[in-house]
Structure 1
Amino acid sequence: MQNDTVKCGLSEQNDSRFIDTIEKEAYVWCETDWKHDDHEHSHQRSQLTFVEEGYQYFHIDQKIYIVPQHHVIWIPSGKAHRISSEARTVNLMVFLFKSVFADEFYRHIHIFTAPTVLKEMLLYASKWNQLTEKDEEQDVFFKAILKSLPNFCRESSFLEIPVPSDARLIPVCTYIDSNFKYSLNTADLAEKAQISVRSLQRIFKSETGITLQKYLQLVRILKSIELMDTGRYTLSQIAYKVGYQSLSAFTSSYYSIMKSKPKVKK
C-alpha cells in the first residue's frame, strides 16, 4: 500500500521507504522554508544536501549530526536517516545520485564546509530544480560535482553528537541536554543512571566514544548554533547562556569543534 506523499521526486511508502521512478542518473530538488517530518526513512539514491540557509540536524546510526549554513552532507545510498531543525528558516538543496564512482569516499557519511567553487556550482545547479527530464548539460555538470566531492572534502570537521543505546544512559543525556549551562556533577549523573561514578564514566565512553565532559561541550556548541541563528543575542550573551564564563573560552571551545569562529546571524 502506498500513500501520496512525494519528497524530492520520490514516492514514499508507508514503511518509510521510497520508490524511485525517475530514470535520470541525478537530479536536484530545492525548497525554501523546508518542512520536516519526524520519522526515519531511506532510499536507493546517494544524497548530497547543501544547507543554503539555517541549519539542519541529521539523525543517523545513533548519532545526531548538525549541518550548519553553507555546509554539505553526503549520505550513501540506502542509509536510513531522519532530519529535524529548530532554525527560523531552512533552505536546502538536495542532490540525488543513482550511481557513484568507485571510491571509498562515497561509502561513508561526510560533512564539510562548501568551498566557494563548490557553493557556486551547487547554486548554479538550481536552474535544473525538480527537472526530471534528460538534459545533457545537467548530466555532465552533476557528474563533475560528484567526481570533485572527495577533493573538496579534505578534512571533515563537524559536530557529531552520539546517542547511547544503553537505556541507563538516556536519563544522563537528557539531564545534560536540559542543564548544559551548569558544570557536571558526576555523582548526581551516576545516581540518575543508578550505577557508580566509575561505571558511568566507563560505560559512557564505551557507548559513545567520548567522555561526559566532551558530550557536554558538544551540546553547548550545538545550543550556541541555535542561539546564533536567532540573531537576538551577542556572542557574549550566547557564551553565558550556554555555560561559558567568558567569550574567549566560548570562542576557543567553538573553534576546536567547528574549525571556524562563531558568528551571529544578521
Structure 2
Amino acid sequence: MRNQSLDTLDPTPRAVLAIGTDYAPGTLLEMHSHRRAQFLYGATGLMEVGTDDGAWVVPPHSGVWIPAGKPHRVKMVGVSTRSLYIEPSAAPRSGSLCEVLAVSPLLRHLLIEAVDVPALYDLRGRDGLLMSLVLQEVRRAAALPFFAPLPAEPRLAALCIAFLHQPDVRTSPLAWARQLHQSERTFSRFFRLHTGVTFAEWRSQACLLSAMSQLAMGHSVTTVALQLGYDSPGAFSTMFRKKLGHKPSAFIAA
C-alpha cells in the first residue's frame, strides 16, 4: 500500500501492515504516536528522529524502531519511506526506547515487497509468509549507535537541546558547568549521572549526528567540518572514520 493513511487501515485484523510514503525534502512530522509499533525505513534520503529520550539520525541502509505509543517527531531529508506498523502483541523487539537498526539486503527487499501486499492479506499464502519473515528480520537486525540521549533533568536538557540545534565540538564542559553554577568536576559527575555517558562522548555523538544530516543535504566535507568547529577537514574526517568506520566521502557516495 502506498501513500495511504494509517488511521484508515489501523483496525485491519492483521499483525503487520506495510505502507510506503513519499515525502518532500524537509518535511517535518510533528510530535505524534501510533497505537501500533513502527519500523520506519528510508528507502532514500536521511531521517532525523526525536523523542523525549533523545535524538537519532537514520542514514541510508538503516531504519528506526519506534515502540508502540512512543511520541516522536521525524524530519525527512528527501525520503521515500517503507513503514511496518505492528500490533503490540506481535512486536519483534522489546524495550521502551527507539533504536536505529541496520537493514540487511534481505530485509530491504522484504520491505520493498511488503508495501505491495494488500492490507487484508492471506495469512497462509505468500503474503502471510512474507510478513512473518520480515518480522523475523527486524528482530535479528543489529542496533546502530546513531543516538544522543537527552537527560530528564530540565536545566541540563535545555543545554543539550540547544547544542543539538547548533553543535560545536569546541564547547567545553567548563562552560556548561558555569551556566549550572557547578565546578567542572561536579558537572562531569552530574552529566554522566543524567545521560549515562561523559560530556566528551555526548558532544562527539551530537556533532556526528549533525554531520550526517548536513552531508546528506549536500554540504561539502569542508563546510561541515568548519561549521562544527573542527580545526580542519582532516580532523573532522578522522573523527567520522573512527565513529563509522569509513570516511565522509564514502558516506556521501552511499
TM range (shorter): 0.7 to 0.9
Q: Map residues 39-188 of structure 1 onto 2, 5 A cutoff.
A: 39-43=31-35, 45-76=36-67, 78-85=68-75, 87=77, 89-98=78-87, 99-100=89-90, 106-108=93-95, 109-128=98-117, 131-135=118-122, 136-151=125-140, 153=141, 155-177=142-164, 180-188=167-175
Q: Secondary structure at the match of 2:230?
A: coil
How far off its partner does 1:187 sit? Answer: 2.8
How far off its partner does 1:265 sit? Answer: 6.0
1:226 and 2:213 are equivalent in the alignment: yes
How far off its partner does 1:28 sit? Answer: 0.6
Give the 4+ runs in structure 1 shifted more than 4 A: none
Partner residue, 2:198: 211
Q: Secondary structure at the match of 2:179?
A: helix
Contact 1:63 1:160 survives alignment (8 Å)? yes
Superposition RMSD in Å: 2.7
Task: Spell out, residue by residue over 1:206-246, the C-alpha distance to the aligned partner (whole angstroms, 9 max, x if none).
Answer: 0001111112111211111121122142x233222222223
Contact 1:158 1:258 survives alignment (8 Å)? no
Task: Spell out, residue by residue over 1:121-168, the C-alpha distance to the aligned partner (whole angstroms, 9 max, x if none).
Answer: 21122322xx322333221101011123333x2x42231111111122
Aligned length, in residue pairs: 243
CA 142–261 in structure 1, closer or farther in 2 if over 3 Å, else same: farther
Partner residue, 1:264: 252
> Aligned partners of 1:247 and 1:25: how far apart in 2?
48
Runs of 5+ unmatched residues, structure 1: 1-5, 12-18
Q: Secondary structure at the match of 1:85?
A: strand
Contact 1:27 1:96 survives alignment (8 Å)? yes
> Aligned partners of 1:158 and 1:27: how far apart in 2?
27
Contact 2:15 2:90 survives alignment (8 Å)? no
Contact 2:177 2:184 survives alignment (8 Å)? yes
CA 119–261 in structure 1, closer or farther in 2 if over 3 Å, else same: farther
> Aligned partners of 2:103 and 2:183: how far apart in 1?
44
CA 180–63 in structure 1, closer or farther in 2 if over 3 Å, else same: closer
What amino acid is aligned across from residue 125 of structure 1 in structure 2? A
> Aligned partners of 1:82 and 1:71: how far apart in 2?
17
Task: Spell out, residue by residue over 1:40-78, the C-alpha distance to the aligned partner (whole angstroms, 9 max, x if none).
Answer: 3241x23211111222233345222221122112233x3
Contact 2:169 2:204 survives alignment (8 Å)? no
Q: Secondary structure at the match of 1:55?
A: strand
TM-score (norm 2): 0.82
What amino acid is aligned across from residue 9 of structure 1 in structure 2? L
Partner residue, 1:15: none
Q: State, as a whole percentage, how many aligned pairs show the same letter.
A: 17
Runs of 5+ unmatched residues, structure 2: none
TM-score (norm 1): 0.79
CA 100–255 in structure 1, closer or farther in 2 if over 3 Å, else same: farther
